[in-house]
Amino acid sequence: MKTFDSKSTTEDVLAGVDLTGKRVFVTGASAGLGVETVRALAARGAHVVGAARNLDKARRAIAAAQAEAGSGGTIELVELDLTDLASVRRAADQQIAADQPYDLLIANAGVMACPKGTTTDGFETQFGTNHLGHFVLVNRMAPLLRRGARVVMLSSSGHRFSDVDLDDPNFAHTPYEPFVAYGRSKTANILFAVELDRRLRERGVRATAVHPGGIMTELGRHLDPAVIEGMLEQMRARGEAFSWKSIPQGAATSVWAGVVAPAEAVGGRYCEDCHVAELTEGVDPTVARAGVRPYALDPDRARALWTKSEVMVGERF
């Protein structure tokens, strides 16, 4: 099997791949990685349903992708606001009512290091959006995943900032730190994939989590440029080489894990740069940008998060 790396793009990964007849659901289809993911898959013949909170913005962003897909794949847009569980349930129920199976679901949407706030349902914004919104969406759509289907959760190397806090997920008793909250939500994305994979593998459905890499997209809109430069200076001081990925490079790991990599290799794992990441146990998390922290793959922690998430959203799966 051909190998890829941090420089590989969606074009590299999907070269020669025919997705005609495949159905894919992608969240966050109005900007950045979401648009590129939709474009790349549709260009290979897939029917892609892109979900976005702002449909007008999504239509403008997807127009070029649809033109490139030509007579091959097709793109459909649906409304989805991950900060509002009523919207999430409505979108999932519409998909269930349509009764069309899916081969791949990519949970791409998210927010990063935003000021303290809450979702419509009262959850801390990052945990509520990045994890709980997708938790409800994916579980409600699970019956539509046909045998051989995959679920790809977009996580981040930012998971190293913090494990989940099951006692205080909403920072009710903990001082709020934007990157700690982001870390919690990204660890939750990995743990969700671990437990989802365990629950669905007997049905022939596998789940994985991926880190797209460092990319300049709208995700970083809440970050002070001075903070970003400070982080880069620290890397340079440690002698680390760093370069931003392009958006096609950033979306490559999502499509690699979703349609190219062997299911057994990525199921229940965390991937980066188009390969399965290694554990970074014993490595200073403030230094190691690559790899996955052991707590993010802990199966007991994954089950505990699942139970806590069901309590929080008031729904059992």
Q: Which CATH number does the domain housing residue 31 bear? A: 3.40.50.720
> DSSP H helical segments within 99-243, as ranges?
125-126, 134-141, 178-200, 225-237
CA distance 217 to 247: 8
The answer to the question of residue 302 being in a domain is yes
Active site residues per annotation: 182
DSSP 8-state secondary structure symbol assigned to residue 204: T
Q: What is the pTM of this model?
A: 0.91
The answer to the question of residue 103 being in a domain is yes
Q: Domain residues for 109?
A: 10-311
The answer to the question of residue 144 being in a domain is yes
Report the domain count for the chain: 1
The answer to the question of residue 316 being in a domain is no
The answer to the question of residue 124 being in a domain is yes
The answer to the question of residue 1 being in a domain is no
The answer to the question of residue 4 being in a domain is no
The pLDDT of residue 70 is 73
> Which segment of 20-24, 142-146, 237-241 scores lowest on mean pLDDT?
237-241
What pLDDT, in 10s, does the model give residues 85-109? 999 999 999 999 999 999 999 999 9
The pLDDT of residue 237 is 56
Q: Is pLDDT of 288 > 70? A: no
- Amino acid, single-letter form, for residue 21: G
Residues 6+ apart with CB under 8 A from 197: 206, 207, 208, 267, 268
pLDDT band at residue 290 using 50, 70 and 90 as cut-offs: confident
Q: What percent of the chain has pLDDT over 90?
A: 83
Give burial (CB, 10 Å; 0-12/13-18/19+) of 44: buried
What pLDDT, in 10s, does the model give residues 248-277? 999 999 999 999 999 999 999 999 999 999
The answer to the question of residue 16 being in a domain is yes
What pLDDT, in 10s, does the model give residues 193-242? 999 999 999 999 999 999 999 887 555 555 566 655 555 565 555 555 55
Do residues 137 and 109 make contact, with C-beta atoms less than 8 angstroms apart? no
The pLDDT of residue 66 is 83
